[in-house]
Structure 1
Amino acid sequence: MSFKDMLAEDRTKVFVDPDIFGETHLVNGKEIVIVIDNDELKERQGSQDLAVEESTTLFYCKKEDLPVVYPGQTIKYDRRICMVDDVKDDMGMLTVALHENIGR
């Protein structure tokens, strides 16, 4: 088994496993398993990364669970309308930073 194969297996069997790190949330009307990491979000905000400065939530998910996501996109996250601030793809795992789109 190659290193990439082992990473792909770990991503599903460990990282996004609901019994270990993952939580089920409703994203764009579909239940997917994500890992919320607001500590990482605070760290990014402390470094003045403008893309995530106003973000309120940062989560990781498998790319196949959220195949079309890009900065500036509006998505539904747990029945709230949110704006995608930043997206990064790292070997099939997405890091997504959101802020709630509150209408006035």
Structure 2
Amino acid sequence: MSTFREQLEDDLNVFFDAEEFAEEHELNGTMCSCIVQSPTAREVFLQGQAYDSYEGISGRQIVVHVKKSELPEIPAEGMTFTLDGEVMLVSACVEDMGNISITLHQNLR
């Protein structure tokens, strides 16, 4: 019989399987199987906060879900971070039971 932690690891392997949900993306120079969300309603779904744009500048936010073991380091808030070569800033990073959810933002003109 599997322990809860072993079952959780099995579940994460399915969730981050490229044939199921995940896709390959470059995260800060490391190729990872991850899930990328682009909220279209300008909301940060994990935090429930609206994205505030600045006058004359539009922006976008992206949430990346990745297994903790895929990245060499956990990003810190305010850190510069690349997603598929695009430079973004880390708004938040939450680690929970082997999964990391990274909220990124980028200002666009």
Cα separation, partners in 2 of 1:81 and 1:87, compared to 1, 3 Å? same
Q: Tell me the equivalent position of 2:80.
A: 74
Look at both structures and tell me which one has the larger radius of gyration over its CA atoms.
Answer: 2
CA apart distance, 1:71? 0.8
Q: Residue deviations 1:36-84, cap 9 Å, x none?
A: 2335x836388326xxx35510010011112331111111111111101
Structure 1 residue runs of 4 or more that deviate by more than 3 Å after TM superposition: none
Amino acid in structure 2 at the alignment position of 1:87: C
Structure number having the greater strand percentage: 2
Cα gap change, 1:45 to 1:9, in 2 (>3 Å)? closer
The structure with more helix, counted as a fraction of residues: 1
List gaps (5 residues or longer) in structure 2: 53-59
| C-alpha distance 71-17 of structure 1, shift in aligned 2 (>3 A) | same
Q: Distance in 1 between matches of 2:101 and 2:26?
A: 16
Identity rate, percent:
27
What RMSD in Å do the two structures reach over aligned CA positions? Answer: 2.6
Partner residue of 2:62?
A: 57
Moved more, 91-100 or 62-71: 62-71
TM-score, structure 2 normalization? 0.77
Aligned residues between the structures: 99
Query: Contact 1:83–1:101 at 8 Å: present in 2 too?
Result: no
8 Å CA contact 2:88, 2:106 repeated in 1: yes
Compute the TM-score of the two structures, normalised by the length of structure 1.
Answer: 0.80
Aligned to 2:18: 18
